[in-house]
Structure formats: structure tokens, C-alpha cells
Structure 1
Amino acid sequence: MFSKASGKVSVKKIYLIRHGQTDFNVRGIVQGSGVDSSLNETGHRQAARFFAAYKHVKFDKVYTSTLQRTHQSVQGFLDLGLPHEQHAGLNEISWGAREGTRITAEEDAEYHEVLQGWKQGITNLGLPGGESPDQVAARQRLFIELMLSRPEEETILVCMHGRAMRVLLCQLLNYPLSCMDSFEHRNLCLYKLHYTGSMFAVHSFMDTMHLQPT
């Protein structure tokens, strides 16, 4: 991106975070896009600590998924009156019939078989009634196009979900979806990316320093 006013290449800065903790996270229950859970006490504390660490950043826009756990994770910024837009492209992957259930290797071999297939590059697989990574990537591309079509939004905050975040990072950084598990995540972790008009670069990888007690 080139700024005519300054004659310099402008940098778009994306602060990409996963939502804070929910009770479903603690209990190991799959949420997906069909379970609209709220943050628990720990999740609200994580959101408050992230806000305290980054409230000085002059965000031009806050983007979230349509699910309330992402809205709650950035509530401090919304309370400042920052422009907010929710986008279904940022929603978590749909796990279909498995949403709302606890899945372990012993309980559901099919679930883990699908995950192994993704690692092998078979990213058109999905659980019954759910989405495949290819389908998630397709709906995310609508958000990516929208984000890049708005050069005036130079610094943005994006809050989304773990598996969907992995898919998005693969797309932004030109990795095959089979590599998505390389992008680790935790509740309220931060990935900071810069975009200069031709490529994205990671400047912070799964940063959780802001969650440490002060």
C-alpha cells in the first residue's frame, strides 16, 4: 500500500486475537459455530488484561465474529466507542453433530481421524453436518477481501476462534491448510501481523505476555 500524502509505503497492522476462556474450554467440550457460549470469570479477566495492555493503540476498527464470546473479549474497546463490525467469515468452524459434546481419542475415533486427514492435506473433509477447512477458508476470503479493500483502516483489532484462526493465518501467510496446526493458540493470545500491500508478515506469535499478573 502506498500513501500519496507521505510518499511512503504504509503498513496495515492487524492485531489478531482468540476469544477469552469459556466454561466449555475448561470442560473440553466442542463449541464450534453452533454453540454461542459466553466468557467465564477467567475469560473476562483475560479480556480486561488485554484491554489494559493495548488500550493505548489507536485502532481504526474492531472486527469480531457473530458469536458473543468474541464481542465480550473486546468489550473494553467497544466501550471506548470504537467502530465495530461483526463478520460471519470470522466464525469458528462448524463441528456439526459434535458441537456441545466432549471429544477424546477414546470417545470419538472419527473426530481424530478427520483431524489426521487435515494434516495429510485432505482439507475437504468435515464431520457429519459440519464444515471442512476448505469451506471455512472460502468464507474467510470474503472477510480478507473486505479488510484489504479498506486502506484507511490502518490498525485493526480482529477477534475470532481457535480453529478458524489457524485457517486464516494459513491464508494470510500463504501456507497450505495442512499446516494449520503449526499455528498454536491459547485463550486471548495475540498474533500481530503487518501488511505492506504485497504480503503479510508475523511480528508477534501467540503472544500471551499481556495475561501475566501485574
Structure 2
Amino acid sequence: MSARTIYLLRHGQTDFNVQGIVQGSGVDSSLNEKGRQQAAQFFAAYGHFPFDRVYTSTLRRTQESVQQFLDLGLPHEAHAGLNEISWGVREGTRITMEEDAEYRQVLAEWAAGNTSARLEGGESPDEVAARQRPFIELLKARSEEQNVLVCMHGRAMRVLLCQLLGYPLQCMEGFEHSNLCLYKLHFTGSMFTVRNFLDVSHLATEG
């Protein structure tokens, strides 16, 4: 049996991304003009590809990022397990490493292995990982799907990559991301491996 291929995509740019405002799972924003351009560029590069199914989170910015594929009539499922981490009471506010001691502290705890830490009212990486597991089992079980496209969110993508590749969650910062970046993975039926890491070649025409 040949290896199955999973194309793992982060959503395109939103105005909140530009402004440094945390969206999380509670802010259901749409793509901005550049985000729509990024989505169109990805479709131009991969629109001919024979995806068996498209998976997204339940949030608009992921579905808008792959809408042109859905317009082709490809099978689509939206899973809440793929939603972004919840940042709790901080969603909709600007959080930066330079200005926010609480945010820095939580990230430091995660890197130190305390992946049960969370911002007030938010989720921990452990909780995100737990809600992703049913989707992972579904993905593994659907062996008839040789090529799938999964569109999700930056922090949740880091958690998912750790789970698929067998890394502890404290290593998640090693999986960098940017808007409309692509990770291409192979799945042999027992093991996931990365073939493309932080691929943005489809955005090469960006100014």
C-alpha cells in the first residue's frame, strides 16, 4: 500500500493577524484581502490536485481559505476538534511577547513541559490535544482517502503536528507557521513523516 498524503494548511491572513490580536476559537473572523489572495494562490498551485476530502475547523477563516476547492464539489467535513486553542478572556485583545508577562509565562511553562497551563478561561495544549484525538483516529481509519487537505490554525496545528509525529507537546514551538503555509505529511498506516516543512512556495508571487 502506498503512503497516504496529508496536506496540512494554516488559514490565510485576517485583519486580526495583521493587528496582533489573538483570535483563538472564540473570534470567528474572515480573511482579509491579502488572505483571499493567498487562498487564490494556493488554489492556483493545487486546484488540479485530486484531493479525496477537505477537512476544516468550524471557523470561517479556515473554510474561506479552501472555498475554491469546496466549489469544485469536493467532499468536506468541518470538525470542532480542529478549532484554534481558546485563549480565554484574552481573545479579541492584543497579546505580544514584549508587552504581556502573563502570556510569556504561559509559553515558558509550555516549553518547560507544563502543557496543562492556560490563560484565564482558556485551553491548555493538553486539552487541545485531547479534542484532536478523535479526528486523528478518523484520519487514520479512512485508508481509502489517499490525499486529504486539512485547513486549521497556527497553535492547534503545532499541537496536531506533535501528536502525529510523536513529539511531546512542549516541542510545539519547533513547528513554525505563517498564513497559508503548508506542511505535507506521508502516512504509511502506522507512521507519519514530514515531507514539506513550512512550505510557502505557492505564495512566491507575493510582493
For the aligned pair, the TM-score class normalised by the smaller chain equals over 0.9
Identity of aligned residues (%): 73
Alignment of 1:128 onto 2:120: yes
Matches of 1:147 and 1:104, distance apart in 2? 34
Any residues of structure 2 matched to 1:136-155 within 5 Å, and which? 136-155=128-147
Alignment of 1:211 onto 2:199: no
Counterpart selection for 2:104 from 107, 112, 120: 112
Query: What's the offset of the Cα at 1:149?
Result: 1.2
The DSSP-based 3-state class of the residue aligned with 1:10 is coil
Matches of 1:206 and 1:24, distance apart in 2? 21
- 5+ unaligned residues in a row in structure 1: which ranges? 1-8
Offset from partner CA, 1:16-47 (integer Å, 9 cap, x none): 00000000000000000000000000000000
Matches of 1:47 and 1:116, distance apart in 2? 33
Query: What's the offset of the Cα at 1:187?
Result: 0.2
Offset from partner CA, 1:63-118 (integer Å, 9 cap, x none): 00000000000011001000000000100000000100001245321111001100
Matches of 2:135 and 2:98, distance apart in 1? 37
Alignment of 1:181 onto 2:173: yes
The residue type paired with residue 83 of structure 1 is: P
The residue type paired with residue 144 of structure 1 is: I
Q: TM-score, normalising length from structure 1?
A: 0.94
Matches of 1:110 and 1:186, distance apart in 2? 23
Runs of 4+ with >6 A deviation: none
Matches of 2:68 and 2:152, distance apart in 1? 16
Question: CA RMSD for the aligned pairs?
Answer: 0.9
Q: Which has the larger radius of gyration?
A: 1
Offset from partner CA, 1:148-180 (integer Å, 9 cap, x none): 111111110000000000000000000000000
Counterpart selection for 2:3 from 6, 11, 20: 11
2:24 is aligned to 32
1:60 is aligned to 52
Q: How many residue pairs were aligned? A: 206
